[in-house]
């Protein structure tokens, strides 16, 4: 065989293959789309929060009407027109990797879900619900990459769902390392060699697209405070233990609350969805009015202020926790990522005030790590995402310690990891629906 002809055939089948380059182009465009949509979603979310603040500032009692009615309408629209868009979105992406049929995955990661998730999360922020856009961006990123797999006839649907989820976190927080760690620890609970390249390249391309549009920034600001004494190390341990216990309690309450809510709603779905979401909205509105509006929305401004050394009222963190819990169980689309980090920031600031510590910025960041690790039970993701969001690399070891301690403490109250417990419920419901359909057929 002619060696030159053989080499030409190899090049044509490899680097010069039109089919291969078409698939690469489709994949790259999908990753860019995740970054662009993530930035657009962030802009729309910030606009919604600012508009709500403009209304609720001069009229602090207006949310008593706006928030319950708005949350009720969001929950009804999600249930009636966009089923599968409710809640965070991370459990839906995890469940989609477990489910195998096209129909089951389309219920969780379709173009309709993308539209509903974005529109209804923005609407929830517009009415003051305590939600974040980061969890929804995970579901949106997973849905975009699944559609890419379908349109480009790519075979690795599960791998692309994983990659899209990681890119969603990276684009939402401007934290590429956290996106990769999140994919490994939380989404797959393992690192599959065949999908590692997909995750890395998707995160890189989506991250570049997001950076090009929004620039480089630290999500929660920066602090120069570091651990400098034995007392500081003791407070790091306290933040980890208390944060983990409180985070575990939140996780347990959310899982049990959603299960009980689903059981109560099932006999009369639309009517009871409306009643339940309205009641949850009342709780959110009361928390907001009682705190002077501090618990509405993501809590980004409060957390950033605390990181930069501005003290928060002692009642902020429990009020924000209640508002976030009420919003999460209501069925309104929206995530708990940013609100949970905000609760952790408030808890860390509260501990700093009790201890009379001058290192309040440090304990705010440590409180975030302990509480967030307790909620999601993903300690690696917790410490990496907070490290990248605050830009203080001098606190790597304290953050790791608080995350590990928070994770261990949360297991006492919440044996099941939050997102995987919720994903198991989604998978169970999907299989039950499939069983009913096949029986009816």
Residue 228 confidence class, pLDDT cut points 50, 70, 90: confident
Q: Quote the tokens at residue 330.
A: 């209501």
Helix axes 18-56, 193-214, angle to 10 degrees: 50
Q: How confident is the model at residue 144 (pLDDT cuts 50, 70, 90)?
A: very high
Residue 5 burial by Cβ neighbours in a 10 Å radius (0-12, 13-18, 19+): exposed
Q: Is the pLDDT of residue 112 over 90?
A: yes
pTM for this one?
Answer: 0.88
Question: Residue 11's pLDDT is what?
Answer: 46
Percent of the chain predicted with pLDDT > 90: 49
Please indicate whether residue 200 or residue 289 has the higher confidence score (pLDDT).
289
Of 427, 245, 419, 420, nearest to 328 by C-alpha is: 419
Residues 337 and 55: their CA atoms lie apart, in Å, by: 25
- Report d(CA 285, CA 311) in Å as an integer: 23
Handedness of CA 119, 216, 94, 239 (dihedral sign): negative
Contacts 24+ apart (CB under 8 A), 428-435: 430/95, 430/99, 430/104, 430/107, 434/101, 434/103, 434/104
149-159 pLDDT, tens digit per residue, is: 888 777 778 88
Q: What is the pLDDT of residue 437?
A: 47
Block residue for tokens 């994919």: 183
**Confidence check: pLDDT of 7 > 70:** no
pLDDT over 90 (residue 140): yes
Residue pLDDT, tens place only, 341-366: 999 999 999 999 998 877 778 899 99
Residue range 284-332, pLDDT digits in tens: 999 999 999 999 999 988 988 888 888 899 999 999 999 999 999 999 9
106/168 Cα distance (integer angstroms): 18
């Amino acid at each position: 065989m002619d060696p030159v002809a053989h080499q030409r055939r190899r090049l044509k089948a490899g680097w010069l293959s039109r089919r291969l380059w078409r698939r690469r182009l489709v994949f790259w465009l999908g990753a860019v789309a995740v970054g662009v949509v993530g930035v657009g979603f962030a802009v729309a979310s910030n606009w919604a929060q600012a508009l709500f603040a403009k209304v609720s500032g001069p009229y602090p009692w207006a949310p008593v009407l706006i928030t319950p009615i708005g949350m009720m309408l969001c929950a009804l629209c999600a249930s009636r027109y966009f089923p599968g868009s409710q809640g965070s979105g991370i459990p839906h992406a995890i469940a989609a990797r477990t489910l195998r049929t096209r129909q089951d995955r389309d219920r969780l990661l379709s173009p309709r879900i993308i539209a509903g998730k974005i529109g209804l999360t923005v609407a929830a922020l517009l009415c003051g619900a305590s939600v974040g856009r980061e969890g929804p961006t995970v579901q949106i990123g997973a849905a975009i990459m699944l559609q890419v797999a379908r349109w480009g006839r790519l075979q690795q649907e599960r791998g692309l769902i994983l990659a899209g989820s990681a890119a969603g976190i990276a684009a939402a927080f401007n934290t590429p390392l956290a996106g990769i760690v999140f994919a490994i620890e939380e989404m797959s609970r393992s690192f599959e060699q065949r999908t590692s390249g997909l995750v890395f390249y998707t995160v890189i391309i989506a991250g570049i697209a997001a950076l090009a549009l929004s620039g480089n920034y630290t999500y929660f600001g920066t602090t120069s405070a570091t651990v400098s004494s034995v007392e500081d190390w003791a407070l790091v341990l306290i933040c980890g233990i208390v944060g983990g216990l409180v985070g575990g309690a939140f996780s347990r309450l959310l899982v049990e609350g959603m299960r009980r809510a689903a059981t109560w709603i099932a006999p009369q779905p639309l009517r009871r969805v409306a009643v339940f979401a309205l009641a949850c909205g009342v709780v959110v509105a009361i928390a907001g009015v009682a705190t002077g509006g501090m618990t509405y929305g993501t809590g980004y401004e409060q957390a950033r202020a605390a990181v930069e050394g501005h003290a928060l009222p002692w009642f902020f963190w429990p009020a924000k926790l209640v508002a976030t819990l009420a919003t999460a169980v209501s069925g309104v689309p929206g995530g708990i990522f940013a609100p949970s980090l905000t609760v952790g920031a408030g808890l860390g600031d509260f501990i700093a005030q009790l201890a009379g510590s001058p290192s309040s910025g440090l304990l705010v960041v440590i409180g975030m790590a302990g509480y967030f690790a307790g909620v999601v039970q993903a300690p690696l993701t917790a410490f990496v995402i907070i490290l990248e969001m605050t830009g203080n690399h001098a606190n790597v070891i304290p953050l790791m310690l608080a995350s590990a301690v928070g994770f261990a403490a949360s297991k006492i109250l919440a044996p099941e990891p939050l997102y995987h417990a919720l994903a198991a419920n989604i998978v169970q419901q999907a299989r039950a629906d499939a069983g009913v359909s096949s029986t009816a057929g």
